[in-house]
């Protein structure tokens, strides 16, 4: 679904990539060693290089992502990180040496077929995890977005059991997860009604949602506090039951 770049959701290519990587190296050097663990990482400063794009897709048309992976490869106190819904196997050749974290977003397939239009199927993302770990990436999972609808608990339970069945030991040993319940906003609701109204039947739920002012200044809607609190607790229970190896870094 379109996010901050409007309806077209275009790929962004940076022509000053040498300046960007140079600034990153200097910033990491100024940070020095990380001495206090946090929810992002116990020992490394984590830089999100794909907050407003999907780097797996960007890498199809640009060398920017390869340049960033190469930069972080030589920064022992820092890691790059990006979330993705697209499996780009060209990234397997970049030799990240553990300094880039790929966060594959997963959700129940019934939800993904409605909401994740023009992305890799969830089964393909799950199948790629072991290969990316073997290629030197740290691979985490985004359980995102968690959409509350009839049958959501059973669907997420099946997905978590599938992860336990299909991921190899090496992938499970290093995995961690973010649990992110759906956040939406009225402007995107109006955009999506123009091209994919079926999805909005799941995403736009005034009966369950309340206004929220996000840290980036956007006026969003999220599930009401009590509804959300109960859903997060239930998702944690499902993870503990079906995928006890999966450490949850944070859930909100």
Burial 115-138, CB ≥16 within 10 A → b, else e: bbeebbebeebbebbbbbbebbbb
* Percent of the chain at pLDDT exceeding 70: 94
Residue 91 lies in a domain: yes
Residue 105 lies in a domain: yes
Residue 120 lies in a domain: yes
| Average pLDDT score over residue span 178-199 | 86
What domain range is 132 assigned to?
A: 17-251
User: For residues 171 and 130, what is the distance between their CA atoms, to the nearest angstrom?
Assistant: 6
| Average pLDDT score over residue span 131-147 | 97
Number of domains, the chain:
1
- φ, ψ of residue 205 in degrees (nearest 5): -130, 75
pLDDT confidence of residue 121: 97
Indicate whether 2 pLDDT > 50. Answer: no
Residue 5 lies in a domain: no
Q: How confident is the model at residue 207 (pLDDT cuts 50, 70, 90)?
A: very high
Residue 7 lies in a domain: no
Residue 204 lies in a domain: yes
CATH number, residue 183: 3.80.30.30
- φ, ψ of residue 49 in degrees (nearest 5): -95, 0
User: For residues 111 and 131, what is the distance between their CA atoms, to the nearest angstrom?
Assistant: 25
Query: Taking a C-beta distance cutoff of 8 angstroms, is the pair 9, 3 a contact?
Result: yes
Residue 182 lies in a domain: yes
| Average pLDDT score over residue span 167-174 | 98
Whole-prediction pTM: 0.92
- Cβ neighbors of 23 (< 8 A, separation 6 or more) are none
pLDDT confidence of residue 185: 84
Residue 9 lies in a domain: no
């Amino acid at each position: 679904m379109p996010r901050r770049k409007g309806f077209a959701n275009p790929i962004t290519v940076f022509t000053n990539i040498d300046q960007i990587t140079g600034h990153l190296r200097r910033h990491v050097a100024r940070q020095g060693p990380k001495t206090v663990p946090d929810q992002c990482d116990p020992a490394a400063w984590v830089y999100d290089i794909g907050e407003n794009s999907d780097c797996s897709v960007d890498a199809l048309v640009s060398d920017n992502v390869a340049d960033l992976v190469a930069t972080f490869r030589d920064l022992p106190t820092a890691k790059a990180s990006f979330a993705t819904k697209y499996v780009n196997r060209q990234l397997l050749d970049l030799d990240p040496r553990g300094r880039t974290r790929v966060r594959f977003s997963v959700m129940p397939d019934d939800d993904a077929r409605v909401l994740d239009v023009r992305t890799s199927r969830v089964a393909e993302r799950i199948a790629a995890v072991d290969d990316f770990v073997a290629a030197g990436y740290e691979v985490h999972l985004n359980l995102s977005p968690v959409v509350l609808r009839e049958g959501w608990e059973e669907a997420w339970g099946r997905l978590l059991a599938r992860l336990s069945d299909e991921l190899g030991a090496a992938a499970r040993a290093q995995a961690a997860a973010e649990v992110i319940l759906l956040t939406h906003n009225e402007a995107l609701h109006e955009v999506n009604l123009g091209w994919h109204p079926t999805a909005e039947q799941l995403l736009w739920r005034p009966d369950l949602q309340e206004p929220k002012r996000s840290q980036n200044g956007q006026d969003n809607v999220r599930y009401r506090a009590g509804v959300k609190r109960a859903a997060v607790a239930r998702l944690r229970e499902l993870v503990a039951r079906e995928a006890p190896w999966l450490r949850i870094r944070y859930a909100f």
